Structure 1
Amino acid sequence: MPAIILLCRGLFGKNIWTLNFRHNPTSNPPIQSHKVSHIQQKAFEEGNQAFSSTYTWFGRVYRGMKDYARALEYVEKCLAIRQKMLHERHPNQATTCSDIGDVHRLLGDYKKAIAFHQKALNIQENIECNPLECATTYTNLGETYREMKDYSTALTYLKKGLQIRENKLPKNHPDLAVMYHALAKLYLATHEYSMVMKNIQQAVEIAQEKLPSNHPHFSAYKETFEEIRKKL
């Protein structure tokens, strides 16, 4: 079978499953992942640039499942390919560095997390790239510094991420809910309860409109909302 047909089958299956996973977090990614990987292995040799986006996808799926070791394995594979195939200031290199940094944050290795996020920003702030990707890096850095209890630095980065997303996205976009929740957690840590309530209410309102009731983000927003209600 021609390689292009195999590739299209793989990408079609990957995209359909990705949409399903966003709306049904209990679906089973490993089965779909191996199907896509098997198709690509028939179409291309290992190390082909076509694998990089698939490895990114695998990494994000496993990160969502909280299998951080496996997530790191895949995003590092992606970076290895992109470092060979792309110039060092390519925006896709920055995206992958930010992904790796976020996995290191989730693993509790904040020094590595910051290093990779700074690598990403060194590219994103000095070339023309998708500003929403830069917003993600700012957000990831903000979350990292919040977990390190450096709240002033965390707030600086989260506000940068929020400003970009508010300028580029509809007011009810789920990615804005992510920002409002991140800010709510920060203000909760600094005991600024009025700001916590303002931001968590915005996150919950967007989630009620845009996310299924069993989505993990929606559950997290409601948990934060209940936590702050108990403190008031």
Structure 2
Amino acid sequence: MLLYAADTLGKMGQASAAVEQCTRLHAITNRLLGPHHPDTLSTRVFQARWRGEAGDVAEAIAAFTDLVPDQVRVLGPDHPNTLTTRSFLAHLQAQAGDLAGAIAAFTELLADEIRALGPDYPNTLITRGRLADLQGRAGDVAGAIAAFTELLADQVRVLGPHHLDTLTTRSLLANLRGKAGDVAGAAAALTELLADEMRVLRPDHPSVLTTRNELARWRGEAGDVVGTAAAVADLLTDYIRVLGPDHPKTLATRGILAYWRGRAGDATGAAAAYEDLLAAQMRALGPEHPSTLATREDLAHWRAEADRAGSSDG
């Protein structure tokens, strides 16, 4: 229950607090149960996971790298927890920019999951999705679209059309179509997806909010910049109400809104919004968090755009 409570803290956006709680729990389980007890290993998994979410990706990678051999020795190489830890590690490798290493890790993991768990096991299907996503991020958009199309058919067959993983794959596939140049197709697919999610899930479900964000993006890329800014502003209001003002997704949405305001021609307003966002991220995430550093770059860009616009007016 204590570990579940710590994990819940992280899911609420309090990653640093989750790390602190997991660290305390690890000390307790290590003392009472020993370093190789499965519960002790579980505290290390959650501690590393939320350390990565808090922005310390390098330390999280090191922690997972140390953890995998211990799980192999205690639980075995084919235990679901061992395989899940390998998935966390590969995901962090991608987050750190090592796409080739992450693709190799997920490819090896997928082969082991197919052998140990079966091709239709939910975790196996999830790994296929992560591998396809990385394929697209590495530049092979056509290959990723083909992989997601095959995966979607299998998910509909195994999980059903309304399973959350199936809906997530539809979202990723739509976004890849947009990246491939079919902006109108992406917006149409996300419009259909949003209608299905609103029927199956609650209106405030994280997946519904994510789809609203993605739909706004592709409508903006299609030319409706003003409408996109308005849609993101509405979305931000819902994120603040549902997740709170300091949740990472709320903060990210503030950055998206600032961007579209800039795209709509209000460079000064965009710069001011990024300045306010930076102060909030410094407080909530810390000065070295990747999102904080990215906002500093965005702020510099829109300040320069505002200066250019002011010089042109003058």
Uncovered stretches (5+) of structure 1, i.e. residues with no partner: 1-11
Aligned identity (percent) is 15
Cα distance, 1:49 vs structure 2: 3.5
Residues 190, 211 of structure 2: 8 Å contact kept: yes
Name 2:181's counterpart in structure 1. Answer: 191
**Structure 1, 106-115 or 29-38: larger mean CA deviation:** 29-38
- Matched AA of 1:150: D
Cα separation, 2, equivalents of 1:121 and 1:53: 22
Cα separation, 1, equivalents of 2:203 and 2:7: 15
- Matched AA of 1:144: L
Match of 1:109 among 94, 98, 102: 98
Aligned Cα RMSD in Å? 2.9
- Give the secondary structure class of the aligned counterpart of 1:182: helix
- Matched AA of 1:190: A
- Matched AA of 1:127: A
Aligned pair count reads 218
Matched, 1:94 2:83: yes
Q: Which has the higher contact order (CA 8 A, sep 6+)?
A: 1
Matched, 1:125 2:109: no
Q: Deviations over 1:2-27 (max 9, x none)?
A: xxxxxxxxxx11113434544x2246
User: Which protein has the larger Cα radius of gyration, Structure 1 or Structure 2?
Assistant: 2
- Matched AA of 2:87: S
Cα separation, 1, equivalents of 2:166 and 2:54: 22
Matched, 1:151 2:141: yes
When normalised by structure 1's length, the TM-score is 0.77
Matched, 1:38 2:27: yes
Residues 173, 210 of structure 1: 8 Å contact kept: no
Cα distance, 1:84 vs structure 2: 1.7
Cα separation, 1, equivalents of 2:163 and 2:214: 19
When normalised by structure 2's length, the TM-score is 0.59
Residues 62, 68 of structure 1: 8 Å contact kept: yes
- Give the secondary structure class of the aligned counterpart of 1:126: helix
Matched, 1:141 2:131: yes
- Matched AA of 1:97: R
Match of 2:3 among 14, 33, 37: 14
Quickly say closer, same or farther: Cα 1:186–1:73, change in 2 above 3 A.
Answer: same
